[in-house]
């Protein structure tokens, strides 16, 4: 059997229960590049049973041994980095260099971080006359999106395995090929059968069956707010644990003392990266009224340079959605200074790098997650006004603050209702907790906080 014919369940590729398949399309040329089985509730049930069967032994495996398996997994991923990058480029459309640096590089770093954490984390501590043991939550369902397809799998699977949990992954239907590659890497790394399982399929079929399965103890979901809400409702009905990483509308706050050109250029790059398909992207740029016109000019010039350098968005559906938002921005009175709703190429799901000026807080493009290469620039009167605008959405995932003085930026960042803030262009840190305030989600991923999501505590009194 070819790998693409089956599901990875219980340590082997097994035939899918049904006949239906999902076609995977290259968003650059719209050609079908492969198919994967469309899993059903029966496949999900098999996978969850395999994960449950493997749980007692994996949970009892010493953390040092779990760490060794994760280190082996990191090494296999490193050896296959080129294949990972090429696969993500083929199914997501991102430029190869970006795929190498980010879509392959970041998950390798994250897998490595959990190999180290599993080896060094104190799974046991004393408090008074008690010993507190941190034990695995159990069987984890990981439902992941397509925008950082391998990273989002590894950011759930690596901490779950480090904690001693077993996992069933249901990857996004647009990007299942890198998920299959990952299953092969898990196999090669020698993880025991059933510790990791993969079921490809449609969200409302395989995804929903997985979230609903009574054999699942925790659902970790990344994706849209609408689906996150449904999953939280399912989990509530069963008092199941749930972690949600949802959308964002993050603010890039440029205080008057900042290096304006740098802040604007880095801000535009942040939004255009991955064709704007980043939940933590700084899609609202907030500029003081005295510097507003200059910032708009700089941003328009910066965006124009991205013309041919960004890839397409993932699908025709996303292209329609993003172009719809651009049209809405125009209709609501925002001023286009770069890009626009017209597709820049006839073939492929491309969207022009787009910048809107004169965006006001009440506009749809200032409130809703667009998930495309679209930046909204808003004007503020003073610092209090900037803070009010920055905090004025239902989201709170990320953000940025720029100021001449670092302490000034930090003081502002501390007042922002958001889970992460980059100070004067601070770099991504794979050990820093990532997750949302407000409707951006529940729980944290990455680093030690990400590990804690997959642990529950038991106190023994002496």
Q: Which residues are catalytic?
A: 245
Q: How far is the CB of 146 from ligand NAD (least distance, A)?
A: 6
Shorter beta-carbon distance to ligand NAD: residue 28 or 227:
227
Shorter beta-carbon distance to ligand NAD: residue 340 or 441:
441
> First CA to last CA across the chain, in angstroms?
55
Shorter beta-carbon distance to ligand NAD: residue 374 or 387:
374
Whose tokens are 């199941």? That residue is: 240
Q: How far is the CB of 223 from ligand NAD (least distance, A)?
A: 3
Q: How far is the CB of 442 from ligand NAD (least distance, A)?
A: 13
Residues whose CB is less than 8 angstroms from the CB of residue 308 and which lie 6 or more positions away in sequence, other chains included: none
Q: How far is the CB of 262 from ligand NAD (least distance, A)?
A: 27
Shorter beta-carbon distance to ligand NAD: residue 190 or 204:
204
CB atoms within 10 A of CB 327: 12
Shorter beta-carbon distance to ligand NAD: residue 15 or 204:
204
**CA–CA gap between residue 232 and residue 226 (Å, rounded):** 10
Classify burial at 457, counting beta carbons within 10 Å of its beta carbon; exposed 0-12, middle 13-18, buried 19 or more: exposed
Shorter beta-carbon distance to ligand NAD: residue 279 or 302:
279
Whose tokens are 């290096």? That residue is: 259
SS3 222: strand
| Of 220, 247, 231, 251, nearest in space to 440 by CA | 247
Shorter beta-carbon distance to ligand NAD: residue 245 or 408:
245
| Of 411, 419, 426, nearest in space to 255 by CA | 411
Ranked by CB distance to ligand NAD, the top (closest) residue is 203
What values do phi and psi take at 352, rounded to 5? -70, 140
Beta carbons of 314 and 147 less than 8 angstroms apart: yes
What values do phi and psi take at 101, rounded to 5? -70, -40
The DSSP letter of residue 440 is G
The DSSP letter of residue 438 is G
State both tokens at 152: 């989002």
Q: What distances in angstroms separate CA 182 from CA 152, 268, 280, 359, one per listed residue?
A: 12, 32, 24, 42
Shorter beta-carbon distance to ligand NAD: residue 209 or 413:
209
Per CB under 6 A, residues contacting ligand NAD are 143-147, 170, 172-173, 203-204, 207-208, 211, 222-224, 227, 230-231, 245-247, 279, 321, 369, 371
Shorter beta-carbon distance to ligand NAD: residue 117 or 231:
231
List % helix, strand, coil for the chain (3-state, nearest 5). 45, 20, 35
State both tokens at 123: 């799974």
CB atoms within 10 A of CB 399: 27
């Amino acid at each position: 059997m070819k790998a693409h014919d089956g599901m990875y369940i219980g340590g082997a590729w097994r035939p899918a229960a049904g006949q239906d398949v999902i076609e995977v399309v290259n968003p650059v040329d719209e050609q079908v590049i492969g198919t994967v089985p469309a899993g059903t509730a029966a496949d999900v049930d098999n996978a969850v049973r395999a994960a449950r069967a493997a749980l007692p032994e994996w949970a009892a495996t010493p953390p040092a041994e779990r760490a060794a398996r994760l280190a082996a997994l990191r090494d296999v991923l490193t050896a296959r980095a080129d294949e990972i990058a090429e696969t993500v480029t083929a199914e997501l459309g991102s430029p190869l260099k970006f795929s190498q640096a980010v879509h392959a590089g970041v998950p390798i770093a994250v897998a490595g971080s959990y190999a180290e954490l599993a080896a060094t984390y104190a799974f046991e501590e004393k408090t008074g006359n008690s010993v507190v043991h941190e034990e695995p939550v159990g069987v984890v369902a990981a439902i992941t999106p397509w925008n950082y397809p391998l990273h989002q799998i590894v950011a759930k699977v690596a901490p779950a395995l480090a904690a001693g949990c077993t996992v069933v992954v249901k990857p996004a239907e647009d990007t299942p090929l890198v998920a299959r590659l990952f299953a092969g890497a898990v196999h090669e790394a020698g993880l025991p059968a059933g510790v990791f399982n993969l079921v490809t399929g449609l969200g409302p079929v395989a995804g929903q069956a997985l979230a609903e399965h009574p054999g699942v103890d925790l659902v970790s979901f990344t994706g849209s707010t609408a689906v996150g809400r449904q999953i939280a409702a399912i989990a509530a009905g069963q008092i199941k644990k749930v972690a949600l990483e949802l959308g964002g509308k993050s603010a890039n706050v440029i205080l008057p003392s900042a290096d304006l050109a740098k802040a604007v250029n880095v801000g535009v790059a942040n939004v255009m990266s991955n064709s704007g398909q980043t939940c933590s992207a700084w899609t609202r740029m907030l500029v003081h009224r005295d510097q507003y016109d200059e910032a708009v000019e700089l941003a328009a010039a910066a965006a124009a340079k991205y013309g041919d350098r960004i890839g397409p968005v993932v699908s025709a559906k996303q292209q329609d959605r993003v172009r719809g938002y651009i049209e809405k921005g125009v209709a609501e009175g925002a001023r286009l200074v770069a890009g626009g709703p017209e597709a820049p190429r006839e073939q492929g799901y491309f969207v022009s790098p787009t910048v809107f000026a004169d965006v006001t807080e009440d506009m749809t493009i200032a409130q809703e997650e667009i998930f495309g290469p679209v930046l909204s620039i808003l004007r503020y009167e003073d610092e209090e006004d900037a803070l009010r605008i920055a905090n004025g959405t239902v989201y709170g995932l990320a953000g940025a603050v720029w100021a001449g003085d670092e302490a000034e930026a930090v003081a502002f960042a501390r007042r922002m209702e958001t889970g992460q803030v980059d100070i004067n262009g601070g770099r991504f840190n794979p050990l820093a907790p990532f997750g949302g305030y407000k409707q951006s989600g529940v729980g944290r991923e990455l680093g030690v906080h990400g590990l804690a999501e997959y642990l529950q505590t038991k106190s023994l009194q002496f």
